[in-house]
Structure 1
């Protein structure tokens, strides 16, 4: 069996015994039905991994004995911040999961004029918690040892107005530039992906005013979740560590 990778929300220290978080203990003890003595791998977001053996598995929880930590950097040289207008249902979860697998460092959920999702207060807080769990699970699966940031949701213009020296990109079906025509080198990108109905003309003009460059992916109209993953992949091939 493949050794399970488990995220631990607190700093890990070599040669110590720790108690797994409630979610991790449930996964290890109830889902995987692991027993004392079996091996797991832990990471805490510091870009280190810790091999560990289970010291205790019972109703009170799961304890693990850590070995020495090892630096394990699987991060792309491209720092990519995705601004994603919130999409309906599982599409947003899919986008978060797959974009993290592809190396995105930061994700900011956005509200725009044509955003079809209405979230506020407690419902929005629960969604953010859910998206954070999806981010953790994606890192556990794909081997990343730094946890990408899922930021609080905000209006589109507020995000566009943030001071940032990154290359700012907005996907547009009638743009004159493609990702392959962007000049090298680039280390930081802020990528905007609009809603299923697209950005309004006023919003597109607003992004231009804040220094965003319109880029084209190809001749076909893609769904919002397809657009995000296609653009991220193309950027990683051009500036990052894919291909």
Structure 2
């Protein structure tokens, strides 16, 4: 079933004019009047909607009852990802949404190849948020993770982070997820850029209370490391954890 995000209240029994972005998708999919699609607004749950009118420049649907379904992970998981180049950042965001990440924090690290500021940073953030929304549509999520404004590593470490566990991906780490005795309800994961964090950045993170986590004996690329760690966390503490 076609599934779309709309940034508007969804009240059962109401008629809704679909926004231009959704209209384009409806036209590409060649949907017709009387067909059903699923809508969600990121506030939790979703509704089935029936197309009642469809033209070249507009589409209207009748909203059904709200379904409070939730597909969120039992663990709240934030990903602080140092900005990576090319399509790597896009890939990390897309797959991170599919795997249950709750919020994304882009970090401007010393070794980040891409340097963003001003209008260029604003445009990239808007693009990243669009990628997150599209991934929610595809994966069935009903809560849309937010992509936070870019911070330097120094500013990020100086801020307070309300999470039970703070994990720093590090090739020098010795801790494993299995070494953390109690299953947390929330966690932050901090992943580096292509060249990794500098010694200064890593020491600062450790001094700020971050636990160095090593995933295995091999060096992983930036887009692989973060997602492998997210999958491991979901396996041990989250979606796939054995009861």
Q: 1:46-95 deviations in whole A, cap 9, x for unaligned? A: 21110111111112321111011110111001100100011001100000
Structure 2 runs not aligned, ≥5 long: none
TM-score under structure 2 length normalisation: 0.96
Within 5 Å, which residues of 2 pair with 1:187-226?
A: 187-226=185-224
Answer yes or no: is 1:233 the counterpart of 2:241.
Answer: no
Within 5 Å, which residues of 2 pair with 1:135-174?
A: 135-166=132-163, 167-174=165-172
Task: Say if 1:80 and 1:106, in contact at 8 Å, map to a contact too.
Answer: yes
Q: Distance in 2 between matches of 1:89 and 1:57?
A: 38
TM-score under structure 1 length normalisation: 0.96
What is the deviation of 1:193? Answer: 0.3
- Runs of 4 or more above 4 Å deviation: none
Q: Distance in 1 between matches of 2:215 and 2:37?
A: 41
What is the deviation of 1:27? Answer: 0.8
What is the deviation of 1:123? Answer: 1.6
The number of residue pairs the alignment matches comes to 240
Within 5 Å, which residues of 2 pair with 1:1-243?
A: 3-29=1-27, 31-166=28-163, 167-242=165-240
Q: 1:116-150 deviations in whole A, cap 9, x for unaligned? A: 10212222111111111111111111111001111
Corresponding residue SS for 1:137: helix
Q: Distance in 2 between matches of 1:227 and 1:88?
A: 15
What is the deviation of 1:159? Answer: 1.4
Which stretch has the larger CA shift, 175-184 or 228-237?
Answer: 175-184
Q: 1:176-198 deviations in whole A, cap 9, x for unaligned? A: 11122222220111110001001
Q: Distance in 2 between matches of 1:150 and 1:63?
A: 30
Q: Distance in 1 between matches of 2:232 and 2:170?
A: 15
Task: Say if 1:104 and 1:148, in contact at 8 Å, map to a contact too.
Answer: yes
Corresponding residue SS for 2:4: strand
Which stretch has the larger CA shift, 214-223 or 20-29?
Answer: 20-29
